[in-house]
Each structure stands twice: as structure tokens, then as C-alpha cells.
């Protein structure tokens, strides 16, 4: 019974996700679903994306949080369109929430949308939002063993950002082991090492974005 | 419809949680539901509990993970009873899972059970497991603003462990601001500052456990 309900929810979500994806394709928009644990650096990674690629791409950000709008205010202060979705307790965004948000954007004039999903390594990985690419952030402070415990998200993503590499000297994080565990789960997936605090790797992140979202407008 | 289902699931969970709590009370067992983000240090905090209070309390650990049994193997290597629950994708433990685990423990000979919940700041806070106390870990690497984004869990807990204080010089974490945000959500809640790596605060954590779980056996 419980499984039945979940199946129905996922099927209904999938059909809305497909419609979102078609709408984006019609308008030549790239949409990235950015997922991570709480505090892994999602907002900082988006700020670096705006700083690094904002001149070349017309960007918009959809901020998903259970509560608060601190993140969308931060993004708006950078003169970038930011839509806040408060899930009111729900632990992930859904395709329907994104569909509502897309109605508020001028898609013909947009190259790239970054969605900041709710901070959670579990449920967001199960819900297709209609994105064109999935990116996750792993923080060095979380340790290199997280792919063992949250395998689905590591399998599902198109790219892994390892953030907070400035903390490597102080954390139990073996980059070689991390890379080999991730490669087992998701062979060939790209991994970019990043420090938003010190700026290391932000050029690689911008280049990845520019490659993913060829500008079509502006 | 969706809300209806959720209400039923929570009501059914609550009745099993109540039965778990009664069983624990009959046997004089304290059970702590330990919740945190992925990589905040749950297993390390449990190891410190065993090192600091394991001589005085008969302890058992219930490890909740989506996949893998690395944590229960670590605990068993310390000569402490460890039961592994793999949720197979579910993002939190339920009272029914704990009820099954309790059947495998000699409750009359147990003083303290620590449950390591799935790494997630959202869903675990909604599900009563029948615990006698709720403890959460906030990692300094996550930043001091997490209570704004995940308010429910900060409201629901009996104690907050701030772990990884050895990283304070390298992280954007203002302890005074964190304490004042938490105090607004949960007035009077105790906060213990901890570094499992350096051992700072582990005495406070052991004393809190010994106060919470007066030994009744052994």
C-alpha cells in the first residue's frame, strides 16, 4: 500500500518532469538540479557560478528550502533573478513545484537555470524535476565514505563537485579513495575539486557550466 | 490525499513509538535518537560515548543507514552490541524498525541505547521512534545558519552537540549567532561544543549521558 502510493507519486512527478524538460528544450534552456547535504556549500557554489559565468549566460536561480528566504535574498543582491520555493516541511523539491516556478521566468531570454534543492542526500535523488543535468556537492568535511551510505545520489548525477578542499588538511577525507568509490558507482563521472572560500577550482566549474549551457539568447 | 496518507503513516508510527517507549520504561532503559546531516560525525560521537561512558553503562547501538554496514562493524570492533538497520532507500528510521531491533536486545541488561538515525535534517525529526531523548549534531563546517533552514529538528531536540569545533578557525561559523538562533527556536536547550578529533568537550558529552541514563543494571 505504501509502495503503491509512492509509485503513483513518482509516476505523476515523472510526467510533470517530462513536460518541464520539453518546455526547456523548446526554449534552449539548460537547467541544473544542484543537490547536497545541508551546509555543503550549495549557495556558495551558485554564487561562484554567477561570478564566473554570469556575464556570458543569462542565469536564473530557483531556491528550494523548507523555510526561510535567506538564500534567494543573497542571489537577488547579485542582480540575478531568484525564485524562492519554501516546501513547508517537504524534504525535496518536486517537478510540480518547478513547473510553477518556470511560469515566473522569461524562458526565451534565459540560458541557464540552477535549482538549489533542499539540503538532503536522499529524497532529492528520487525526484526528477525535468532538469537537463544533475550536479551534487560533496563536502570534504563530510568524509570520503559518504558514497557508501548514499549510493543512489552518487549514481544519478552527471558531475560531482568536491567542495571545501581548503579543509583537506584538517579532515578525514582521502581524495583518492573518494574518487575510486565514486568511479565504482558511476563510472566516468566528472569530479571537480573546489574551494569556494579560496577560489580554487572555480574556473573549472565556470567552464563546465559554459560547456553545458551554450548561450542562445542575449 | 497525500496529506491523508502522511497523517495515517504518522499515526501508525506514533502508536508503535508509544509501545517502544513503554517497553523501555519497564526495563529502565534510556534510548537516544541521534540525528544529524550526512558527515556531521554521528559515528564519531557514538564512539566517544562508548569510550567515555561504556565502563559505567551497559550500552547498545542501533545503526540506521540506507545502505552499508560500515558503522555497525566499527562499533562491534569496540566490543559493543551493534544492530544494523538498512532502510533500503528510506530517508529516516521508523518506530517499527526500532521495535524489530529491540527484540534482539537483552533490555533487562541494557542501560543505554543510542540510535544513529539516517543522515538527514528533515524527515527523521518527524518520526517518533519511542526514544526517551533526542540529540542532534550540528557540524561547524555546515555554517551557523542551518537552524533557519531546518527549524523543526532544532525545535524538537533535547540537546544540541556542535561538533568539529577544531574547524572553527577555517569555517564561517559564528558560535554566538548559532547559540542565539537556536535559543529562539528552542529556549533553554543545552548546547555542548565538541571536537571528536581533538577530544574537546567529550567529558561534557559523557557526563550528559551518565546523567540521562542512570545505571540500573550490572
Residue B187 burial class via C-beta count within 10 angstroms: exposed 0-12, middle 13-18, buried 19 and up: exposed
pLDDT surpasses 70 at A42: yes
pLDDT surpasses 80 at B7: no
Beta partners for residue A30, in sequence order:
A112
Residue B102 burial class via C-beta count within 10 angstroms: exposed 0-12, middle 13-18, buried 19 and up: buried
The H or E element that residue B35 is part of is strand B30-36
B141 and chain A: CB distance < 8 Å anywhere? yes
Q: What is the pTM of this model?
A: 0.92
pLDDT surpasses 80 at B193: yes
Question: What gap in Å lies between CA A41 and CA A119, rounded to an integer?
Answer: 10
Taking alpha carbons only, the member of B118, B149, B59 closest to residue A69 is B149
Percentage of chain A with pLDDT > 70? 94
pLDDT surpasses 70 at B216: no
Pairing, β A159-163 against β B30-36: unpaired
Mean pLDDT of the region B205-216: 88
A28 and chain B: CB distance < 8 Å anywhere? no
pLDDT surpasses 80 at B3: no
pLDDT one-digit tens code per residue, A170-215: 999 999 999 999 999 999 999 999 999 999 999 999 999 999 997 6
CB contact under 8 A, A150 and B66: yes
Question: Which top CATH class is B2-212?
Answer: alpha beta
Instruction: Spell out where chain A has E strands.
Output: 30-36, 59-65, 81-86, 112-116, 133-139, 159-163, 190-193
pLDDT band at B1 (very low <50, low <70, confident <90, very high): very low
Q: Find which of A122, A166, A178, A181 to mutate to test the B interface (most B CBs within 10 Å of its CB).
A: A122
pLDDT surpasses 90 at A4: no
pLDDT one-digit tens code per residue, A109-144: 999 999 999 999 999 999 999 999 999 999 999 999
Mean pLDDT of the region B107-126: 96
CB contact under 8 A, A150 and B38: yes
pLDDT surpasses 50 at B8: yes
Alpha helices in chain B (DSSP H): 2-26, 42-53, 70-76, 95-102, 146-149, 151-156, 175-185, 202-212
A185 close to A151: Cβ distance less than 8 angstroms: yes
Question: What gap in Å lies between CA B6 and CA B156, rounded to an integer?
Answer: 19
List CB contacts of A218: < 8 A, sequence separation 6 or more.
Answer: A58, A109, A111
Percentage of chain B with pLDDT > 90? 88
Mean pLDDT score of chain B: 93
Beta partners for residue A59, in sequence order:
A112
A90 three-class SS: coil
Taking alpha carbons only, the member of A139, A135, A153 closest to residue A46 is A135
| Domain locations along chain A | 2-212
Residue of chain B whose alpha carbon sits nearest to that of A142: B39
Amino acid at each position: 500500500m505504501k509502495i503503491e502510493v509512492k509509485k503513483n507519486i513518482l509516476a505523476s512527478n515523472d510526467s510533470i518532469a517530462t513536460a518541464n524538460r520539453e518546455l526547456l528544450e523548446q526554449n534552449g534552456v539548460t537547467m541544473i538540479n544542484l543537490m547536497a547535504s545541508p551546509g555543503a556549500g550549495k549557495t556558495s557554489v551558485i554564487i561562484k557560478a554567477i561570478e564566473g559565468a554570469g556575464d556570458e549566460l543569462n542565469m536564473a536561480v530557483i531556491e528550494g528550502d523548507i523555510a526561510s528566504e535567506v538564500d534567494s535574498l543573497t542571489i537577488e543582491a547579485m542582480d540575478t533573478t531568484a525564485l524562492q520555493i519554501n516546501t513547508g516541511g517537504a524534504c525535496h523539491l518536486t517537478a510540480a513545484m518547478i513547473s510553477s516556478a518556470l511560469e515566473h521566468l522569461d524562458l526565451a531570454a534565459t540560458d541557464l537555470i540552477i535549482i538549489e534543492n533542499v539540503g538532503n542526500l536522499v529524497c532529492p535523488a528520487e525526484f526528477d524535476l525535468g532538469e537537463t543535468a544533475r550536479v551534487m556537492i560533496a563536502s570534504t568535511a563530510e568524509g570520503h565514505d559518504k558514497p557508501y551510505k548514499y549510493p543512489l545520489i552518487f549514481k544519478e548525477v552527471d558531475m560531482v563537485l568536491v567542495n571545501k578542499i581548503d579543509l583537506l588538511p584538517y579532515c578525514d577525507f582521502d581524495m583518492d579513495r573518494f574518487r575510486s568509490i565514486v568511479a565504482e558507482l558511476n563510472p566516468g563521472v566528472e569530479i571537480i575539486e573546489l574551494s569556494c572560500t579560496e577560489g580554487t577550482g572555480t574556473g573549472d566549474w565556470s567552464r563546465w557550466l559554459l560547456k553545458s549551457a551554450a548561450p542562445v539568447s542575449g
